[in-house]
Structure 1
Amino acid sequence: MNFAGAYSLINMRYLFQGFLVTLGVSAVSIVLSFIIGLILGIIRYSRIKWVSGIVGFIIDVIRNLPLLLILFFTYFGLPAIGIRVGSVSASITALVVFESAMISEIVRAGIESIDYGQMEGARSNGMTYVQAMYHIIVPQAVHNMIPALLSQFVSLVKDTSLATIILLPELLYRAQIIYSQNSTYMIPMYLIIAVMYFIICFALSKLASYLSKRYAS
């Protein structure tokens, strides 16, 4: 194992660029999947005639598909029907589609954990259904959802490594480029990217801890 050569300034700069790609793709995917997942979860909970059933069916289909298959379809399938996407756009699209479906179930379960009497109380005080959801139900549900959401977001960050198969220039892809030039760099590269993934995931866990305390106060 050649640690000195593997961790040269040129290699670390190249790897850090992959770290930024991983961060960027993860951040955008987390924000978009949370927003879309929240909306889909509320729709499922509300049991809107026909709409909730159709949305629920689509969500169940997506949740039972491998993320790798969705990545392949996004990157190779969309161009076949005339939609051109790059590796970054395809990765974000696939992650958002998959994670939104997963998060919608977390949201639905979180909302159902709130006593229905709170909805009835809000409605009896003159609130509309939307106002009651926005001001009363969802804020409490989000607090209950934080541990599950954190776990899903951490999984999302780690799942970005799957996008190396569609040539997303993220951490794992760049590490493979580096050690393909010298096989003795393989273990050092895997060690450093493990540290980088730990940094991201640990930061997410600390954020979740902060949010839990803030909501509890």
Structure 2
Amino acid sequence: MDVIVQAFSASNLIFLGKGLLITIWLAIVSIAVSFVFGSLLAIFRYSKTLVLAQLAFVYTEIVRNLPLILILYFAFFGLPEFGLQLSIFWKMAIGLILFEISQLAEIVRGGLNSIEKGQIEAARSTGMTYRQTLFHIIIPQAFKRMIPALVSQFITIVKDTSYTAMFGLMDVLNAAQIIWNQQFSFIFPIIILVAVLYFVINFTLSSVSLRIEKKLG
């Protein structure tokens, strides 16, 4: 019991809290940016513009078949080679974004392809342009169908932020490692606490997803 009390001291909890804020901020940035660009890639692949569709296909297929850790190594060591002197946070954010764009692009493309062709033909027969059909008929319906897969990927992104501890980013996992490296007996209670923190974040995402599904349904 004394070990638990010492492990959960105010200074340790504050230190973990700072790491947690970095984890949350990294996840928010990665989710928001990768969702926007992933959606654009999916729309490019869905469109009839051959050049854009082919470019989107090449990027998606190359990146999604590479391990995330390799992309993070590229961001950490490769970006400076291109003259981009960034903080460790933004290196890791770019690495996550580059990888997650390809994952989300496939989810969004699957949602777009799930819309029956008959609805598209019906919309076009009423005089709607391809763009109007896409934004008023296809995307709204596809979004409803994509919600479970999107939220699942968002949860994966939150968990993937833990890889950044390997590169020195002071996220919640790295903060936890520093604490138990100072006192090894703290390792078990600190691991349990970090697990609870990840669970709360991801369970909250799942709960919000269910509410959105019910509301849209």
The normalised TM-score by structure 2 is 0.96
Q: Deviations over 1:82-123 (max 9, x none)?
A: 111111111111111111100111111111111011111212
Question: How much does 1:34 deviate?
Answer: 1.0
Counterpart in the other structure of 2:168 = 167
- Residue equivalent to 2:12: 11
- Once residues 90 and 193 of structure 2 are traced to their aligned partners in structure 1, the CA distance between those partners, rounded to angstroms, is 26
TM-score w.r.t. length of structure 1: 0.96
Superposition deviation, residue 51 in structure 1: 2.2
- What is the match of residue 207 of structure 2? 206
Asked if structure 1 preserves the Cα contact closer than 8 Å seen for 2:42 and 2:56, the reply is no
Q: Distance in 1 between matches of 2:48 and 2:166?
A: 38
CA-CA distance at 1:70 after TM superposition: 0.7
For 1:201, the aligned partner's letter is N
Instruction: Give the SS at the match of 1:192.
Output: helix
**Structure 1 stretch displaced more, 126-135 or 167-176:** 126-135
User: Between Structure 1 and Structure 2, how many residues are aligned?
Assistant: 216
- Ranges in structure 2 where 5+ consecutive residues have no aligned partner: none
Q: Please tell me whether the aligned partners of residues 79 and 91 of structure 2 are also in contact (alpha carbons under 8 angstroms).
A: no
Name the residue aligned to 1:92.
93
State the 4+ residue runs in structure 1 displaced beyond 3 angstroms: none
TM-aligned CA deviation for residue 139 of structure 1: 0.8
Gaps of 5+ in 1: none
Structure 2 letter corresponding to 1:205: S
Take 1:204 and 1:117, find their aligned partners in 2: how far apart are those partners? Answer: 34
2-side partners of 1:62 and 1:3: how far apart? 43
| Aligned residue in 2 for 1:108 | 109
Shift of 1:134: 0.9
Equivalence map 1:45-194=2 (5 Å)? 45-194=46-195
- Secondary structure (helix, strand or coil) at the match of 2:12 reads helix
Q: Quick one: percent identity of the two aligned structures? A: 42
Q: Shift of residue 50 of structure 1?
A: 2.6
Residues 135-167 of structure 1 show CA distances to partners (whole Å, capped at 9, x for unaligned) of 111011011111111111100000000011111
1:30 aligned partner: 31
Question: By how many angstroms is 1:47 displaced?
Answer: 4.0
SS in 2 for 1:179: helix
Residue type of the alignment partner of 2:89: V
User: What is the RMSD computed on CA atoms of the aligned residues?
Assistant: 1.1
